[in-house]
Chain A
Amino acid sequence: MFRNNYDNDSVTFSPQGRIFQVEYASEAVKQGSVVVGIVSKTHAILVVLKRNAEELSSYQKKIIAIDEHLGIALAGLASDARVLSNFMRSQCSASRLTFGRAIPLSRIVSSISGRAQSNTQNYGRRPYGVGLLIVGVDDSGPHLFEFQPSGMTQEMIACAIGARSQMARTYLERNVERFANCSREELVKHGLQALKESLTQDKELAIENTSVGIVGIGNSLKGSKIEVFKLYDGIEVKQWIDLVSDKSNISEAVESMEVDS
């Protein structure tokens, strides 16, 4: 009786002008675990919460390095992100081959948004079920972009997508003024703090479930133009997790109280 007749494919507008299939695709993004991105004047970072299917399984990778100057974090269908990341990689290497330069961020972002958009206007296709945060550095500095299955892309100062990301966004909005002048470490700390906001009660940040991706403007003293995009995983993220964990703060407090000599 009250069946929705307008959500069978992505080429049908509803009487209100909506495309339900695209909206359903956006729901897939909300199912994915949370990813956070922040950009400062010198760096752009990704911080992600990885999930495992069960106790015995590995944690699903959420950050993909695309090129020296660029990486992405995904929320949603990982296989769609693989398709998009392969496409981005080929775009990057095409730019390096034909022009001998790293592709500008805005260019590669608009190329994937074009691809996603065309999937929403041809019969027999489906929208991508994945949202991306894209960080990178080009001639005009570090950038953070958000990508949605609808083909919408926006440049952001800070952004969080995925399940329960609203909490993280609230944190980011409260601190938005601070990010521009943050150092690399401060930026990661803010990212982890935002991530923590969106954790469920029984979860904690640990080296198994947290990944960090960093790219930045290079230290010209060393002669390198950029700090190449690097994914920090496992034990490498311990340094930052310890910085923001409640336990360390408590134990410090406890230690300082219990010292008697």
Chain B
Amino acid sequence: MNHFPQAWGRPRDDIYGPYDGSFLHDSRPNQHTTTPIVTGTSVIAIKFKDGVVIAADNLASYGSLARFTNVKRLRKFAETSVIGFGGDISDMQYLDRALNNLEIKHAYDSSGHSLNAKNLHTYLAKKFYQRRSKLDPLWNHVLVAGLDDEDKPFLASADLYGTTFSSPSLATGFGAHLAQPLLRKLVPDEEAATKLSLESAINAVKESLKVLYYRDARSMDKYSIAVITKDGIELKENEKLENQSWAFAEKIRGYGTQVN
């Protein structure tokens, strides 16, 4: 025994040659997510009288490359809530796994105590805040849709900073600029949301998705849409945008003076 604890319990240098300790020292600093790589764009959602409608397209972009065209960004949780993920896809997959584990853990209670959308949103917000406080954020902006502890429609947002807010309609990313103004025309306040019908909520969401497809260069015309009510979740994952308007384009020539 000598006075160098690093050598204790290791092969003796005089017999086996000097110990290669290079793997012990990492020359690089820790690398956390400093920028998202594969990303999903907007998630949009609106409350109506019996529940919530939430939608997101099925695209995962790699920078400006529309790399993955069949990525489902809406996830069911415990048969009562849907989470829509915007932002980094690998972090979405990590959260998906974490939430699966959480769901399994809570399902061990036979007495039917499951987490409602409100509980889930609180949990996610804490998770986001914990990670950003470790300077290792989960690069997502999520919407949590479902029902709260009084079975009322619940919709709230949480992002990579742990910031949370709630509103009768919500949208992440580009949708916050393009979809939110359209949705707000329908539900300017909570009271309007309690009167909105399912049909007009779905129409508004589909219209907003269309506007996003027109104007958001990272969007796609294939999308998923979910309706959450007391009766359960109706999730459709392979929808396609319809009734686009492009006929006007034929008449456009040049950028000003060109006539034909």
Indicate whether A218 reaches chain B with its CB closer than 8 angstroms.
no
Alpha-carbon distance A107/B149, docked complex (angstroms): 18
**Min CB distance, A222 to chain B, in Å?**
15
B257 contacts A by Cβ under 8 Å: no
Residues of A within 8 A of B120 (CB): 99
- Which residues from A are CB-within-8-Å of B126? 97-98
Chain B residues positioned under 8 Å from A139 (CB to CB): 112-113
Find A107's partner among B109, B118, B119 (CB 8 Å cutoff): B109
Asked whether any CB of chain A lies closer than 8 Å to the CB of B68, the reply is: no
B19 contacts the other chain (CB 8 A): no
Q: Does B113 lie within 8 Å of A138, measured CB to CB?
A: yes
**Is B111 in contact with chain A by the CB < 8 A criterion?**
yes
In angstroms, Cα B119 to Cα A99, docked, is 4
Hey, which chain B residues are within 8 Å of A98, CB to CB? 122-123, 126
B115 within 8 A of A: yes
- Chain A residues with CB under 8 A of B118: 100-101
Whole-angstrom CA separation of A149 from B118 in the bound complex: 36
Most buried by B among A97, A100, A106, A139: A100
Count of A-B residue pairs with CB < 8 Å: 30
Give chain B interface residues in 35-86, CB to chain A under 8 Å.
Answer: none
A99:B113 contact, CB within 8 angstroms: no
B contact residues around A97 at 8 Å (CB): 126
Task: Give the contact-size bracket for chain A.
Answer: 10 to 19
| A105, closest chain B residue (CB) | B111
Across the interface, which residues of A come within 8 angstroms of B109, CB to CB? 104, 106-107
A196 to chain B, nearest CB (A): 34
Tell me, yes or no, whether A140 is within 8 Å of chain B by CB: yes
8 A Cβ contacts from A99-154 to B: 99-101, 104, 106-107, 138-140
Q: A96: nearest residue on chain B (CB-CB)?
A: B122
CB distance from B87 to the nearest CB of A (A): 22
Interface string of B23-34 (1 = CB under 8 A from A): 000000000000
Assembly CA distance A211 to B62 (angstroms): 66
Nearest residue in B to A141 (C-beta to C-beta)?
A: B111
CB of A12 to closest CB in B, whole Å = 31
Chain A residues with CB under 8 Å of B119's CB are 99-101
Contact with B along A217-250 (1 / 0, CB 8 A): 0000000000000000000000000000000000
A-B contact pairs, 16 of them (CB 8 A): A98-B122, A98-B126, A99-B122, A99-B123, A100-B118, A100-B122, A101-B119, A101-B149, A104-B109, A104-B111, A104-B113, A106-B109, A106-B111, A107-B113, A138-B113, A140-B113
Additional 16 contacts, C-beta under 8 A, given A98-B122, A104-B111, A104-B113: A98-B123, A99-B115, A99-B119, A99-B122, A100-B118, A100-B119, A100-B122, A101-B119, A104-B109, A106-B109, A106-B113, A107-B109, A138-B113, A139-B113, A140-B111, A140-B113
Q: Taking beta carbons and an 8 Å cutoff, which residues of A are in contact with B? A: 97-101, 104, 106-107, 138-140
